[in-house]
Structure 1
Amino acid sequence: MEVAIFLLLFSLLAITGLKADDTGDADINKYKLQKLSIVGLKTKQSSTFEEGDIDYSSQNAADGDTENGIAITDLEGNPAWSVYLQGEHCIGKVTLYNRADCCSDRLKMATVRAGVSNIPNRNERCGIQVAEHVAQERGGVIDVYCDPPLLATKVSVVLPLKQHLQLMEVMVEEYPLQRCHRPQRRVSILQETKEQSSTFDKMHPARVAGDGYILTLHKQGFAFTGYDSNPWWKVTLSREHCISKVTLYNRIDCCSDRLAGAVVRAGLSPDIHSNAQCGSPITAGQASHLGGILDVYCGPPLRALYVSVDIPDTEEHLQLREVEIEELKVNPCESDERDLSIIDRPTQQSSDYDERYSSDRAADGNRDPQWFKHYRCTHTKYEDDPWWMVNLQGEHCISRVVLLNRGDCCSERLENAVVRAGTSADIHDNPQCGDKVSSDMAAPIGGTIEFVCDPPLVARYISVDIPSDRRSFLQLCEVTVKELITKDACGEAPEPTEHVPVTEQNPKKVIQEPEPKEPVEEPNQKEVIKEPEPIEPVEDQNPKKVIKEPEPMEPVEDLNQKKVLAGPKKVIKEPKQQEPVEEHNPKIVIKEPEPQEPVKERFPKKVGGWVKIQEDAPRGEGP
């Protein structure tokens, strides 16, 4: 009898444990992409090219055969191909197989759209358009990632010009449906009325900045005013929305600096200057990047019928490649959670790969994930336990943190990364927010990874690190933060974990509150000083063309470097005394033992709390 009771209890415990494990995997599984078969589903294209007895019908692009058969439309304006899904799906990735025998460049500027409308151009854009250099490869395999994922019953490929649309095959991958149920959603402005203060010429009307296309041509593809005093652009929404974020796409060929000082406004008045400002004005640093993607967060969210962009108190051209708007869909404008801007807050990281990839790149409001091409992401050296940190300059109740991963290659390097938030300047003393990054979460190139702090955490410092017994890079293209504003949402701040006071033996973990300073122009990015010893992996210079999934390559380690990791905290040996030189990042002030006359030679590289002038290194491949 006792044996039977024991076996029964053991069985119940085993079942309970199994259920707990299954529940624990739910959050991880929602980040897993799964193939969605479209073979046999209904397809349609705007027209069908006819030549002899050869079949060029739409079904050829959804038959599962990537080598035979092709769907081709007539030579026409805005050709389109679509597949009708059975029910709603959370679309995360669409792969296009280009023509292999000739004419592959015809796929240039192709755009993937996904949504619930039967009209392709009314659905949201998935990822970015096919670039010209990507389309040139015959037989190329082009992966397009939907970030954020899109709830859809229909997936389409459209060309915003007069051309044949030709597709060897289209493949679709999806996330579990719950991932598309987000508290924020994009507001479609495709059919809404757009206006601007004036129009430079008939090729640059206001409507171009809300047509859903991100064109890169000089003579079209962006709204462009005349040289106006206080130039503006405005969209009138068909109903009230609770606006939480507005994204501006800057001009890509030249003159991006014209957007400096631009202000986003949202409200209920048709007079744009009567509406509240959303976020901060665009800084000169943000506007300096050609083709920049600039997020402006409304904190708190704003109830609006009108969203506008203007450049106050100046005479200038206003030029906008595209404007995207997001709203809160749960408890509109009454949410207890809001975006916490970290733009221009002091940042720091364990090391800089070189001066182009400094820590402030992850907190500049620019969401362009093209690391190698545009130098808009952070990148540490190849080292033990690399980390990045931002000082919020005050305590906040942190509810979630979102990381934007690298968009050209090597996204898997973020695997095992953890986010921490707390009141200690020593990142390892602060509690962890959410789970560590799994391989599935790190896989999407240019993907976003969300960490939910449960319970919310009182924090002055937020950090990202990769705790490991092997060396790695840490690379972040943007970090965004949300906080709770409800009174006592976080309760009282926990006492920091006891630890040995930080001294000069560990200079990386000593941060002073910096004095406010005027922004300093970035150093000349054309000068590239490389790491002389470590041999870095050669990366794909054309990451958007994906022929085969490459095996991850581990960089060659520098045999002269030793790991100094012992336990959860790093002990860094005191570097040899050298003359300190002037820091190029005024946001981070590191205590120097005895300040001396700064040396202004070449671009310095930080080593711990000191700065070391490196010898000229050979110039060549990037990391």
Structure 2
Amino acid sequence: MIGITLLLLFATLPGHSHEHVTEQSEVWSTTDPSFTKSDVTTDPWHDSDPFNTEIEPTDFSHELDSINTASNLALGRFTTQSSTFDKFGDSGNAVDGHSSNVYMDGHCAHTDLDIEPWWMVNLNATYKVFSVSVTNRGDCCHTRINSAEIRIGNSEKHGGTKNPRCAVISSLELGETHSFDCKGMVGQYVTITIPRRVRYLTLCEVEVFGLPVSSDYHNDTYVPVQSPDGENSSDELVTELKNILKHSNAAPNVAVGGISSQSSTYDANGHSENAVDDHTAQCSRTKQEFEPWWTVDLKSVFRVFSVAVTSRGDCCNEQINGTQILIGHSAEGRKKNPSCATITSMELGETLSFDCAGMEGRYVTLMIPNRNETLTVCEVQVFGLSADLPGHSVSENFELPSIPHGAPNLALHGRTSQSSYYSYRAQSRKAIDGSLASNYLNGDCTHTIQEFEPWWMVDLQAPAKVFSVAVTNRGDCCKERINNAEIRVGNSKENGGKTNPRCGTVFRMDYGETLSFYCKGMQGQYISVIIPERKDYLTLCEVQVFGLQEPGFTPKPFEDYEDLEPVPEPLPRVETHEVEDLRRKVFHFPEETNFSYVLLFPKKPLRLRAFTLCMRLATDLPRNREIIFFSHRTQYFDELTLWQELDGRFGFYLSGEGLLFEVSDIASSQTHLCLSWQSKSGLTELWINGKKVSRKFYRAGHEIQPNGITMLGQDQDSLGGDFDAKQSFVGQTTDLYMWNYVLPSYFIRKANRGYRVPRGNIFDWRSLSYELKGNVVIQQKNTHTYE
């Protein structure tokens, strides 16, 4: 039953749009293909819905004049939907009155992949509805709306999908708006749903026209007649859901997004949230005290199937010995919550998974009882499902064996391979490096080329009893590519283990999400992740395999293998430099292109509440041309952009409307530019050639976000791409420095003269990590060097 209820967990919170974002074109070749058997070619349920009765026409000609002048009843009303695809797909976008039908403009509603997806608007009162106008998506995927139904009634249960039906949307063209006659149907809720299908539902505008119903209005005409087959329709639905999701026995890591706390904090590096940040290199740490504890509030009650704990990797692993894992409903009486397991011992940096057999609770606590100690935890993953979901007891769904001492992550010592390599950065071992970071472009993930049935596999070096496999999806792009991937466990390595028994199937995953699939003690040496029966990319950011091997087995170190994993050749026209001293050198961009740029790799994440950015520029480009100087972008936003506007002004953008400065031309000889900003007051200062030319206030309280792509030479209209040659930089860039604080003015003046300044703790020209792409070359220079 857990597989059946899984899809209800994935509704995401609504977000906001960003005008410069465009969806990556390669996504469209990978959406919806995995569910074609039930989505298009078959109709698994016969039309036995008792509410499918069409409404008999009624003469409302005397009300037509009023209808023609009526306003759109749906405009700005409260909306909901079965799930939300991403920040651009808020349900309210379909009633915002905007005519745009391009999804990435942020004016369309979009569900995630759902069984029978639905969207609903509450009109706030009961109306006679005479027509519903629907606008289809205009930039792609117009066939997704085929067979959608419009339903109207007074029930909001199940998203209104059981209310009487007004019409069936057989098909709509790209961006088409069509009005459907509803013959004066009465209801407060208007729903659009796609029944009996696994689909995405995208609506760019829904308009509802009708007239109010008087307070004494009564009408039994619109109560649908029970179909002879209606009494069995619910059972058929459950049966089909079981068939579709029977292999999706997965539970998400519900600790992510929880509220953590601990009995004390050792220092500034030991905050409690470090244990639920998806980064095993950062740890929580208490002071030495009697019975130290760490806890996460899951915000609601969950059935917890397992808890995975990662210990400290640099020292002192014995401190965690005897730690109890407690799960329950009490926030204060932590000792009173029931015990899931006791950690007897852990190796340095080890991750152990403990079976909790579906224990219910809101609070998951780690506590060292009966002694003075320091508690250090580097990551806690809690895999469970909401206790509010319908379902049977866990024993009916999972055969989870008792593992008193925890099951280790066997993948860490395995040998990996995959069907192909997307680039030299996409090695298969990226998926077993122990990190839950999920940005491929930062080097966190493995990645195949687009091919038929791509696969990834880890060889555990010996057969193992596998209890669970946890998979982390890509977080920076393209979350739907992993839909329908299969986890297989067995003793065959042929064709990537495709013929081994199946442990689970991915129905869908969110950006950067980790799902744990329960394998019930399956036996095997090879664990594979495979996308069956379609051509696609496979990207995995981490695969954890929790299980047990024969006592005494010692895994062979990876370095001892004779044939190490082949590293593909770099992409054409790419130079890679780990760290280089670039004093007396410049980046030269010789021509206008849409493919030449320099990737910059910061020394620390760009989570900034203040910064100073300095660089020296030279260009012959005209004043009336857009020119990009610096671009840092995350998935949805231009986090930090510096460029020249068409009118020659200098533009500074932080995730939204920009701040503009009047400046002189950037000289062909060289112009030294510095910009500083602080969040506390919003104070922003622009310096040109050592002189402060402007002082303004901008985005007070804002915080620049990390985990994006930083580059010189091109403006990113989408993450890492969609470049416009007419905005590219042509000329020379040198002396690039960035600090995560406001640099004192006398250092800015020294920087302009080429004197020594503090080392840039984000970027430093004397030790810069970068990659050249396209036609960018390094040349020597003779002046203005920081020694």
Scaled by the length of structure 1, what TM-score is found?
0.38
Scaled by the length of structure 2, what TM-score is found?
0.32
Query: Which structure has greater strand proportion?
Result: 2
Q: Which of structures 1 and 2 has the bigger CA Rg?
A: 2
